[in-house]
Structure 1
């Protein structure tokens, strides 16, 4: 047992468990759950646990048959089903009867019949002493690897076609990696057939019995590539979760400042920052709600910013050398800070035209725009504007 085999076995069980938890809901395809479960069982039986199973059942080399049935027939059929679902519902319906059920079932029955008839024990040193066992081993291998190669080649075609159609995104590269993994699986099947054919005539392909090393390397490479390819969408979701969470935390100070002045826009009560930071749930939904509440609070506070404040804010930021979008964002930040102070003082607001500095058409672009507004709101430029506005109000004469 190598460290690589143990690592891949662990990754397969993690993938299988995650897939089963994800796909248990009604209406979801369970093809990948079955595929990873079959591959995980196969790799587990390659470990010393396979010998334990043989001794416990009293059936010599039963782990060899189960390893091939789970890792070859079941997993290959499940991968085929998944890829045909990717190719479209029409293709899946046309091939459902033969490819999904009849072909893998007949392959499994034929393999089991040959195994229990002539392939016990499955050790090649014993089998090669019997001509009938020779032929049974050849038939068993041809049936098993023939079916496996058929499924893998069909899967490669689907992966390459839909990988190109999906472009250079996560899905496209994931399908390409799965396709390369399936190609490595085909290489494994070819090597196994070539090795068996050479052994039947008493010759080896590679010196010092390196055939098993090559075949095992191709098998492990195929499994690692398939795991990587199917995990890319998960990594993309993890990246989106991280980005949404960071944006959520970055916008908290601005959200807190504005909604403290207009608490009615908050859907939920205020939580301690530590509690919010430690809460991993639904950062995308929470970020969406936070951006909406910031915009709602800005809309309410807009009525507390008089035209004079608007002109003064824009003159203040342009005097600091800002132009274009930066000037508009900084001016909005100054206006919001002044309006918040007026609201907290109890001033009476008057309807004003709403002129936000900008926003986004989706959640990522909107959160980026609000992060820029937050940075401008807490900048020295805005603090200077508030201080200057306070001084101006202090110096202003009382109305007669």
Structure 2
């Protein structure tokens, strides 16, 4: 592959990277408004996205035709790059509780004025190293490279440092690693610029767009990771809500008073934001559980024992055994209640379900739903019990702890990349 092919491929990667980077920034704006540190991170990423955007050939050409300030083939993009480096450095210092805005932005202003003066006097037309043969000792480019590395290297170090501390939160750690990769890639770019000034190899200049494109995609991945995780949770909860609806409807028809609201359409229930869908799912699980606890009073220990014997002959895997037992005696309890029998309250039975969170409870209930196909062959009770006895149904009140609300991501730059 020749230099021209590498350059063209890199330009395509650069353009697509810039587009998705801006998309990720705009999508993160609603969540970043709630956290000052997230806003600063998003500003830093937006500044870097802007510095990448102005390096795109169509944007550079448009700037050169529009602004007198940009007539030096890249001065505008380089000044913007200094501004983005200041945003990055400000974010790093804020994350370390050592923010010095006057120092950071004052140094940015001095650097910007110095570059403009150098470009107009000592080193005119030095803004485009890929076409202008500026000397290796060009003060303009040494200052510019130093300004960028001062912002990107500390941010890369900070992201690596915090990623090593986030051992339990894999998603948070991955996001920091991706952001660190983006800042490292940006640092490599400016190191390559410095190497190009010193050695002038043509093949090195052809790598500029590809390096910029890789930086954009890494930064996009790190910035958009919380959005992807939120979308994944939304899809998972909506799917669980959809799959649990038949079981919920059957139990609510048998025990109507457990439903908080009137039933709505199955598809309509799955629509909404992440929090709304999660709360509907949580409420539906609670209502199913409450209905099961009510229906326990309509079966006897003998019924449960017959259910266990019936299921044991089906040769089901261990993780499907208890849900199938529950499905069998639930079917009998619904028949008994529909026939007008009165409930016989039972003392609390110990729980055999050992879930840890809402996800485990949902999986248990889905197994109960799947087991309904074997219920048809379960023989009904012929005699209604005359006294109250405990029902070892494998599904007890301790599940209230198992279905506690899912923890929400903490705000702040140190909890969400």
Shorter-chain TM band? 0.7 to 0.9
Task: Indicate which of 49, 69, 72 corresponds to 2:59.
Answer: 49
Q: Deviations over 1:93-112 (max 9, x none)?
A: x2434664344343333333
Equivalent in the alignment of 2:209: 216
Please, what TM-score do these two structures have when normalized by structure 1?
A: 0.81
Please, what TM-score do these two structures have when normalized by structure 2?
A: 0.78
Cα RMSD of the aligned pairs, angstroms, is 3.1
Equivalent in the alignment of 1:181: 182
Contact (CA 8 Å) 1:325, 1:357: kept in 2 or not?
no
Equivalent in the alignment of 1:4: 13
CA distance, structure 1, for counterparts of residue 288 and residue 308 of structure 2: 21
Equivalent in the alignment of 1:318: 312
Note the residue ranges of structure 2 that are not aligned, 5 or more in a row.
1-7, 385-417
Contact (CA 8 Å) 2:135, 2:197: kept in 1 or not?
no
Please tell me whether residue 372 in structure 1 is matched to residue 380 in structure 2: no
CA distance, structure 1, for counterparts of residue 177 and residue 317 of structure 2: 46
Q: Deviations over 1:271-301 (max 9, x none)?
A: 1123234556533222211111111111122
- 1:145 CA drift (Å): 1.0
Equivalent in the alignment of 2:140: 140
Equivalent in the alignment of 1:61: 71
**Taking structure 1 as reference, are residues 393 and 280 closer, same or farther at Cα in structure 2, changes over 3 Å only?**
farther
Higher mean alpha-carbon deviation, 356-365 vs 143-152, is at: 356-365
Please tell me whether residue 267 in structure 1 is matched to residue 260 in structure 2: yes
CA distance, structure 2, for counterparts of residue 267 and residue 344 of structure 1: 21
Equivalent in the alignment of 1:154: 154
- 1:146 CA drift (Å): 0.6
Contact (CA 8 Å) 2:32, 2:42: kept in 1 or not?
yes
Equivalent in the alignment of 1:248: 241
- 1:221 CA drift (Å): 1.8
SS at match of 1:15: helix
**Taking structure 1 as reference, are residues 217 and 384 closer, same or farther at Cα in structure 2, changes over 3 Å only?**
same
CA distance, structure 1, for counterparts of residue 369 and residue 128 of structure 2: 71
**Taking structure 1 as reference, are residues 55 and 162 closer, same or farther at Cα in structure 2, changes over 3 Å only?**
same
Written as runs of structure 1 = structure 2, the 5 A alignment for 1:13-32 is: 13-25=22-34, 27=36, 29-32=38-41
Higher mean alpha-carbon deviation, 252-261 vs 149-158, is at: 149-158
Please tell me whether residue 288 in structure 1 is matched to residue 282 in structure 2: yes
- 1:142 CA drift (Å): 1.5
Equivalent in the alignment of 1:172: 173
Q: Deviations over 1:368-397 (max 9, x none)?
A: 122122222x122x2222xx216x369xxx
CA distance, structure 2, for counterparts of residue 105 and residue 384 of structure 1: 81
**Taking structure 1 as reference, are residues 266 and 69 closer, same or farther at Cα in structure 2, changes over 3 Å only?**
farther
Higher mean alpha-carbon deviation, 153-162 vs 303-312, is at: 303-312
Rg comparison, structure with higher value? 1
Equivalent in the alignment of 2:321: 327
- 1:336 CA drift (Å): 1.6
Q: Which has the higher helix share?
A: 1
- 1:358 CA drift (Å): 1.5
**Taking structure 1 as reference, are residues 99 and 170 closer, same or farther at Cα in structure 2, changes over 3 Å only?**
farther
Written as runs of structure 1 = structure 2, the 5 A alignment for 1:66-77 is: 66-70=76-80, 72-77=81-86
- 1:329 CA drift (Å): 2.5
CA distance, structure 1, for counterparts of residue 37 and residue 93 of structure 2: 15
CA distance, structure 1, for counterparts of residue 222 and residue 359 of structure 2: 26
- 1:28 CA drift (Å): 5.5
Equivalent in the alignment of 1:106: 110
Contact (CA 8 Å) 1:188, 1:218: kept in 2 or not?
yes
Equivalent in the alignment of 2:226: 233
CA distance, structure 1, for counterparts of residue 232 and residue 254 of structure 2: 34
- 1:154 CA drift (Å): 1.4
Q: Deviations over 1:195-217 (max 9, x none)?
A: 2234xxxxx3x2xx223212332
Q: Deviations over 1:209-260 (max 9, x none)?
A: 2232123322222222222233333322222222222211111111111111
Equivalent in the alignment of 1:345: 339
Equivalent in the alignment of 1:398: none
Written as runs of structure 1 = structure 2, the 5 A alignment for 1:31-46 is: 31-45=40-54, 46=56
CA distance, structure 2, for counterparts of residue 321 and residue 124 of structure 1: 74
CA distance, structure 2, for counterparts of residue 232 and residue 253 of structure 1: 33
**Taking structure 1 as reference, are residues 110 and 365 closer, same or farther at Cα in structure 2, changes over 3 Å only?**
farther
